Chains A and B, each alone.
Chain A
Amino acid sequence: MAVARAKDVALAARIDGLDLPKGGWLGEARSKAMDRLVAMGLPTKRDEYWRYTNPSSLVSAGAPTSAVFNPDDETPAFDQIGRLKLVFVDGVFDASASDDLAMTGVSIELLSDVAKTDIHWARDLYGVLETRGQSPVERPLAALNSAFATEGVLIRVSARAAKPIHLIYHSNSVTSDVMLHNCVKVEAGANVTLLESGPAAARFIQVMEVDVAEGGVCHHVRTQGRNHERCAATHVFARLAAKARFKSFTVTANGRLTRNEAVVELIGDDAAAHIAGAAMGDGDFHHDDTVFVTHQGERCESRQVFKKVLKNGAIGVFQGKILVKQGAQKTDGYQISQCLLLDEDSQFLAKPELEIYADDVKCSHGSTSGAIDETALYYLRSRGVPLKLAQSLMVLAFLAAAIDEIDDELIATDIRERLQNWLSRHEH
């Protein structure tokens, strides 16, 4: 009981001063999310799914301060790609910096604009996939977001989107504490690419719910990085109907604490989900990928590919799970998590899980960890490549397998260049 009471106190402190808006379709969704949150309480480091990542900075009453990152310090993300931009500054939509939201086959609305209406298509999505994703593993921060998110984007895609939609999250405040909630509904046969970039806030709690109907395709690529002091917990909840495809890739460089959760349900037959990530960490960097893929339909495919490069005491965490339900025959599940430790101080903590209840399936998982291959390094040096460059080449080669998960070559190139740039800044 003492523990339960401590959780109540922590929750009360965390939500003190936050507004729980009532009314409209969203009011009901928020109050249900609040009920879920109260029932669960906030996570503590004693929880099984937080054993490797201390959630204290995410659950503390106030956001820890974070020095503002100067965005001019590097080329803006996805700059070479024709895209529709939506800009948020510390969680507030900046219309003047954003493009016109009209695009053929795509409806883009802001959560704050439609929250007060009585009915909205997003009612069947907002908090719905998040709720489904609360079992068997609780994700209280996602419920916190559903209850209190002040802004977000509601995207409904009914055809092939002419260009990618890019959500840019700027931050100008050392204490900003932001929760954004995005909903993406991809209708049958429709196709969309979502890009995300930017530090967002000193503390950022995000939820994105993605519902892909039959034959629909959703690509998601995001960069998180180089603002060293922020902490972030993001959640992607995706539900896939028959023949739907969902691909999500994240590249992360630094950040004091990043927890990226992905919860994917393959409901229909012949659906495919690929979740991948590349992370580079330096110093007091803590990066956590927590993935849960559920196979329910037959003949579905899922891939989890995660690579991390760590140095100077950075910590990398991977908690991946494939759950194959009874009847999900001919499932093809694959999971790999690999870590390159560049020095003695860094740590890799992994829990690659399988839970299988169907007999005609193929599921494999692998996890490796170690230092740079000295033989390969020696080979490069013997060919006249300087040590630092040789190391960089090896790191890029190591991360390449994760970047290969990106379908769009232009986007993949952008990511590769960004990595190269980050790598050169962190050489020493």
Chain B
Amino acid sequence: MAMLETEVRDGVDRETVEAVQAMSGKYKYGWETEIEMDYAPKGLSEDIVRLISSKNDEPAWMLEWRLAAYRRWVKMEEPHWAMLAYPAIDYQDQYYYAKPKSMSVKPKSLEEVDPKLLATYAKLGIPLKEQALLAGVEAPEGERRVAVDAVFDSVSVGTTFKAELAKAGVIFCSISEAIREHPELVKQYIGSVVPPSDNFFATLNCAVFTDGSFVYIPPGTRCPMELSTYFRINAENTGQFERTLIIADKGSYVSYLEGCTAPKRDTHQLHAAVVELVILDDAEVKYSTVQNWYPGDENGKGGIYNFVTKRADCRGDRSKVMWTQVETGSAITWKYPSCILRGDDSQGEFYSIAIANNAQQADTGTKMIHLGKNTKSRIVSKGISAGRAQNTYRGLVSMHPKAKNSRNYTQCDSLLIGDKCGAHTVPYIEVKNNSSRVEHEATTSKVDEDQLFYCRSRGMDEEEAVALVVNGFCKEVLQALPMEFAMEAQSLVAISLEGSVG
């Protein structure tokens, strides 16, 4: 809690400062599970790619796909355009596959899973039982259930409620299982949103992804419960490369949650994930993330390097995606959950709160690619920097010539706590037709005029009204987070954007 001595200028909400400090003062999830692991040899080569593929019993086409990606990756250069400073990553000095020994024979049901693993998730507040309630969460009105896929280092430990979801026609399993059980779906959609040639980290992921989650929601189906994946990195010197593929068929709906933590270690660990969402006509996907990887200590020792490619392809007309992210962890965050609004009348939303403290560096934002007619997008990004942290919003809004009558509204606010940190905004705006309207705002004074007018008509002065509207909105985003994240969200509710600098 060294932060408390930081001189905080007037106008910054005290409660916010304390909440930011409390959040990063002590990393709750920094303990380690002592468990015997099987490792692939250190380093990266075609043999490692073959080994990962064979460990997962993959068909030949999958191996070929991985090898093609690997051969491409070898010729690629790591990108350095982000406002991130970190020593060169030695891709040969880490393990690409680590699996608990007890998982060598895949457990047939949750009862057979190593109790140590179950205890790990229980301690994280994610009990792998088919129970209605999550630890620490008050029972909401009516029954509320969440199905969980738990990924521990390189493998999926288990998936809950599978049978019940299957009754509704929903497929929810690890991606390694999906490649074996539903190859036609995987083959059709994998790499169709984030192709193997996309970027350095995504290509690496294509070659070495070990596990992840797979979701298919059939046409016209509202997924009967929320789905979630919980990622835990445990083994030392091990990178985690998971791949998530979600397909929402016509007229379906799913809310998907993602959480991640890792033990405290002195060395940096690499996490390079790919998430692909395919959304067909009239379907809707809500994707919420609380990213809480180990951020490193106060001096920047250790912490996860988080290089993630997340993209939603709103392929169908009237399809809809909503990304909500709360980014508090990782030493380095490089992440731009994006929306390709291909279908007419499709919608993309991106709500982000990124908090960087101590030596953390975050370069995060979104891309809204408007291709279809009457497409709408909304970006709300709140960045908070404290300590010596650097926090960058980087975003692209692109209106293609054919995206007639489309709309974008972007608001990004930054707050600095202390004078040794940095807050940066790098938006790219490309408008190629005139019936679309694009608005980018980065001032707290430019909040919704109607709401402001209402507040002012009730006798509030301008500043009070703005603060109320902005804070109200921030809370609104947090409240939009599903119950699963209620604990995290509660600690964030104290955050206000008073004193934002734009």
Interface residues of A (CB under 8 A from B): 48, 326-327, 329, 333, 339, 341-371
Chain B residues 422-449 with CB under 8 Å of chain A are: 422-443, 445-446
CB distance from B405 to the nearest CB of A (A): 10
Q: What chain B residues lie within 8 Å of A341 (beta carbons)?
A: 431, 433-434
The stretch among B274-282, B299-307, B352-360, B412-420 that forms the contact with chain A is B412-420
16 pairs of residues in contact across A and B, judged by CB atoms under 8 Å: A48-B81, A341-B431, A350-B427, A352-B425, A353-B425, A356-B424, A358-B416, A358-B419, A359-B417, A360-B9, A360-B419, A362-B501, A366-B440, A366-B446, A367-B427, A371-B435
Partner of A349, one of B12, B417, B431, B434: B431
Task: Tell me the interface secondary structure of chain A in the complex.
Answer: strand
Partner of A344, one of B9, B401, B416, B423: B401
Taking the complex as formed, is B67 at the interface, i.e. its CB lies under 8 A from any CB of chain A?
A: no
Q: What chain B residues lie within 8 Å of A363 (beta carbons)?
A: 442, 501-502
Q: Given A358-B419, A359-B416, A359-B419, do A370 and B426 touch, yes or no (CB 8 Å)? A: no
Extra pairs beyond A344-B404, A344-B434, A354-B425 (15, CB < 8 Å): A341-B433, A350-B440, A352-B427, A354-B414, A355-B424, A359-B501, A360-B9, A363-B442, A365-B443, A366-B446, A367-B427, A368-B439, A369-B431, A369-B437, A369-B438
Partner of A370, one of B430, B432, B434, B440: B434
Q: Give Cα A352 to B428, complex, Å.
A: 7
Contact A370 B443 (CB under 8 A): no
Q: What chain A residues lie within 8 Å of B83 (beta carbons)?
A: 355
Q: What chain A residues lie within 8 Å of B380 (beta carbons)?
A: none
Contact A356 B401 (CB under 8 A): no
Q: Give Cα A333 to B424, complex, Å.
A: 13
Contact B432 A347 (CB under 8 A): yes
Partner of A356, one of B414, B429, B439: B414
Partner of A365, one of B421, B432, B438, B442: B442
Contact A368 B440 (CB under 8 A): yes
Contact B501 A347 (CB under 8 A): no
Contact A342 B434 (CB under 8 A): yes
Q: Give Cα A364 to B502, complex, Å.
A: 5
Q: Please give me the residue from chain A that is nearest to B441 by CB atom.
A: A366
Q: What chain B residues lie within 8 Å of A356 (beta carbons)?
A: 414, 416, 422-424, 501
Q: What chain B residues lie within 8 Å of A327 (beta carbons)?
A: 419
Q: Give Cα A401 to B322, complex, Å.
A: 36
Contact A347 B431 (CB under 8 A): yes
Interface residues of B (CB under 8 A from A): 9, 12, 81, 83, 401, 404, 414, 416-443, 445-446, 501-502
Q: Give Cα A362 to B498, complex, Å.
A: 12
Q: Please give me the residue from chain A that is nearest to B396 by CB atom.
A: A351
Q: Give Cα A347 to B436, complex, Å.
A: 11
Q: Give Cα A368 to B441, complex, Å.
A: 9
Contact A359 B421 (CB under 8 A): yes
Contact A354 B424 (CB under 8 A): yes
Q: Given A326-B419, A364-B502, A371-B435, do A351 and B440 touch, yes or no (CB 8 Å)? A: no
CB distance from B276 to the nearest CB of A (A): 27
Q: Please give me the residue from chain B that is nearest to A316 by CB atom.
A: B431
Q: What chain B residues lie within 8 Å of A366 (beta carbons)?
A: 439-443, 446
Contact B429 A348 (CB under 8 A): yes
Q: Give Cα A303 to B83, complex, Å.
A: 25
Q: Give Cα A345 to B434, complex, Å.
A: 8
CB distance from A48 to the nearest CB of B (A): 7
Q: Given A48-B81, A359-B416, do A367 and B429 touch, yes or no (CB 8 Å)? A: yes
Q: What chain A residues lie within 8 Å of B437 (beta carbons)?
A: 368-371
Q: Give Cα A341 to B436, complex, Å.
A: 10
Residue among B414, B431, B439 having the largest count of chain A Cβ atoms under 10 Å: B431
Q: Give Cα A352 to B442, complex, Å.
A: 10
Q: What chain B residues lie within 8 Å of A367 (beta carbons)?
A: 427, 429, 438-440
Q: Give Cα A355 to B418, complex, Å.
A: 15
Q: What chain A residues lie within 8 Å of B81 (beta carbons)?
A: 48
**A-B CB proximity, top 7 nearest:** A341-B434, A364-B443, A359-B416, A364-B502, A370-B437, A354-B425, A350-B429
CB distance from B20 to the nearest CB of A (A): 13
Q: What chain A residues lie within 8 Å of B417 (beta carbons)?
A: 359
Contact B502 A354 (CB under 8 A): yes
CB distance from A338 to the nearest CB of B (A): 10
Q: Give Cα A346 to B436, complex, Å.
A: 12
